[in-house]
Amino acid sequence: MTRRAFVGVLGLGTLSLRTWGQHGASSEGKSFPIVMPSAFFGSTTPTAAGFHEGVTHNLAAYLQSQVDAKEIPGAFVAAMRHGKIFLEQHFGTYCDRTRREAPYDGAAIHPFHSISKMVSATAVVMAWQDGLIDIDVPVMKYIPEFGCGGKENITIRQLLTHSAGIPATPSGGLAAGSEAQWKASVAAICAEPVQWPPGSKTQYHALSGMLIAAEAVRRGSNGKTWNQICQERIFTPLGLTSFTFNEPPLDLPLACIPRLAKPAIQWLAQVNAFAGQPAAGLKGTFTDLLKFLVFHSQKGVWEGKTLLREKYWIDMHTPQFHGKAGFDSWALGMVVRADGPKSFNLGWFGLRDVTGPHVFGHVGTNIALAVGDPDTDTQIVFIVTDAPKLPAKAVELRNTVTKTVFDALSKSA
């Protein structure tokens, strides 16, 4: 499945909520508040953070103009540096479970779509770090039935860098919301032939690559679900209380993105469209997404504890095809800006006009953006509350946000 096809598929304050497990609310039934980024991290002024004061006004004016022009119904943006929020803004409306035009303040759980890949790739690299897998040996060592149809030499590294040669999704789709669906989807990919020689180019693997990489980890993890693996390796250590790859409980304040014509009738089908999918099913709050970006910006360290050792962090953040013509700027499960020329791929990921060579991130189709920079210790999250009609509009929005923030960074800071 191409990125454009994936976009097509998706065409289909403090609040109290419960934690959840594999298929719904957890047995503990604990409640916790949704805390906005500024409430968790604390806030500061742009000037104190080393940014020109106008960054707040400039972004507010731009995003409000997009809402006023009905290009988007609503948006949220937050940016932080050195552990403090210097920018937090919300605009317009969003679609909740019952209303297409609910007032929006960002205090909800959001689907992050393909930002999921950056999180899942981190869990895969952590499994490599622990000796559970080796990302440079053929996948068939862990999934024997995968080794057919020209896929015999595909490695997990190639799965994480969209160079494996299996981008198309089997005709039956790749549902992963239950164990039976997961197994059927893995079997479907295993039965597919390679579509071009592995390693010969990059082409976006929207769902297939990360599912197989996750399955390799699962087979060495006593059959744990992907959500359980991520919970143990990432969510719990980083305190990402809201993060899940599964269906949220019914009382969850949830943003349905893209918006629905009849939310009360349609929302469950949309929310579950990518349930369980390691490449697209992640949901959570902006605060937890920022925690994850801070963890990566701090080179695998969270609250003084090293969770991703230097060797593995460096490999994860190193562009795998740097300077190679015809290859996109992929690191392991994320894009890294590097110092190459502007390209469509960098533009899609909102990094077209950013010059920092170590700026990294991912997007969620044409609605969400998550970016971090270890050099300046800056992190940005951004979402629009409906998919823009044209992908070009999504590219404009993302690149305007990142350019406005990074251009405001004082050269002396």
List pLDDT tens digits, range 357-400.
999 999 999 999 999 999 999 999 999 999 998 999 999 999 99
List pLDDT tens digits, range 329-364.
999 999 999 988 888 889 999 999 999 999 999 999
φ, ψ at 175 (rounded to 5°)? -65, 145
Block residue for tokens 């992907």: 226
Reading the block at residue 19, the tokens are: 């934690």
Residue 413 lies in a domain: no
Residue 216 lies in a domain: yes
- In this structure, what CATH number is given to the domain that contains residue 274? 3.40.710.10
Residue ranges, the chain, pLDDT below 70: 1-32, 248-250, 411-413
Cα dist from 3 to 72, 155, 183, 197, 248, whole Å:
21, 22, 24, 20, 26
d(CA 4, CA 18): 35
Provide the domain count of the chain. Answer: 1
Please answer whether residues 404 and 59 qualify as being in contact, where contact means their C-beta atoms are separated by less than 8 angstroms: yes
Cα dist from 54 to 82, 92, 278, 352, whole Å:
19, 21, 38, 21
pLDDT at 246: 86
pLDDT at 214: 98
pLDDT at 413: 55
pLDDT at 370: 98
Residue 81 lies in a domain: yes
Residue 250 lies in a domain: yes
pLDDT at 173: 86
What range defines the domain where residue 136 resides? Answer: 3-407
Residue 412 lies in a domain: no
Dihedral sign for Cα atoms in the order 81, 393, 174, 154: negative
Reading the block at residue 43, the tokens are: 């806030």
Residue 179 lies in a domain: yes
